[in-house]
Amino acid sequence: MDKIRRFGPVWFVPGKKQGRYPYCHSIYIEGAGVLIDPASDQDVLRQLRQGPGVKEVWLSHWHEDHLAYLDLFEDLPFKMAREDAPPLADLETFLDWYEMGQPASRDMWRKLMLKRFNYRPRHPSGDLPAGEVIDLGTVRVEVLSTPGHTPGHRSFFFKGPEVLFLGDYDLTSFGPYYGELNADIQGVIDSVNRLSRIPAKTWLASHDAGVFTENPGPRWQRFLDVIDQREEKLIRFLEKPRTRQDVVEAWIVYHRPRQPLEFYALAEWVIMKKHLERLIRQGRVKQDQGRYSLV
């Protein structure tokens, strides 16, 4: 609890390992008892529940590293965008949204979701409608629709203290993550640009440093530049025909093989597939008999 940072009634609850996967930073609203993204630190979240108390949980989106300790608050209402609710209701849908087609991968992830992320089917008690301004008593919060990372990703602007919670648009050097079925590169770009224009005084994010007390400035564009850098590397790589496996083993996103390999290889492919689909739509890349090449 001593590491919590307070910005008026908005508390920043640091995740373990600097909020890096499989953790994230959580947000707590003093007085209202609202907890956003319960996947930071199990012990601290238990303490928050005991006092000052948690009355309701919100999720910024459906990913496992944002809901890992939702089971601590099973008896409480929780809200999220309806667009992101289906994976929480059914584990097979959860795996489908990550495009896990291989039986071995699905089996591994079923076990991991149940054991590490405490998955169980859940249905939100309420929506977080885009544009709604919610009066929590101690602070008014505007719900921002910021799709791209997921279709129903939500960011939050706390109007009194002028604190902006970015969610997974975390401005890290890794760049944006769009490794799932319904992620969208243009959506990411539009959402980050929208967030950059909001007149906040403090910016909070889900991972890594997580707190910016001065305008992130060039970080916004550097974050988005990673998208173009990935695409430029992919285009150079496609100067001769390449298979899916070739593209994965180039490790354009993750730079090297990581463990567990099945997880990172799938994420690498899903992200690269977004770029391939975009380049095909633009008429710059073609696919022929399972091989991708420049037009």
Assess whether 17 and 129 both reside in one domain. yes
Assess whether 61 and 131 both reside in one domain. yes
At 277 the pLDDT is 98
Assess whether 104 and 153 both reside in one domain. yes
Residue 216 in domain:
yes
Assess whether 258 and 113 both reside in one domain. no
At 105 the pLDDT is 86
Assess whether 199 and 261 both reside in one domain. no
Instruction: Tell me the per-residue pLDDT of 139-188, one tens digit each, with 9 for 90 and over.
Output: 999 999 999 999 999 999 999 999 999 999 999 999 999 999 999 999 99
CATH number for the domain spanning 89: value is 3.60.15.10
User: In the chain, how many domains are there?
Assistant: 2
Average pLDDT over residues 117-130: 97
Assess whether 13 and 156 both reside in one domain. yes
Residue 230 in domain:
no
Q: Which residues pair with 154 in a beta bridge?
A: 145
Assess whether 174 and 255 both reside in one domain. no
* Confidence band, pLDDT 50/70/90 cuts, at residue 1: confident
Percent of the residues in the chain that have a pLDDT greater than 90, as a whole number: 96
Assess whether 252 and 215 both reside in one domain. no
- Contact present, 62 and 119 (Cβ < 8 Å): no
Assess whether 86 and 114 both reside in one domain. yes
Residue 232 in domain:
no
Assess whether 110 and 151 both reside in one domain. yes
Q: Is the pLDDT of residue 263 over 90?
A: no
Q: What is the pTM of this model?
A: 0.96
- Contact present, 14 and 41 (Cβ < 8 Å): yes
Lowest mean pLDDT among 33-42, 153-162, 188-197, 253-262: 253-262
Assess whether 74 and 175 both reside in one domain. yes
Both tokens assigned to 42: 């199990």
| Structural domain that includes position 282 | 238-294
Domain boundary among 187, 220, 253: 220
Assess whether 243 and 216 both reside in one domain. no
Residue 233 in domain:
no
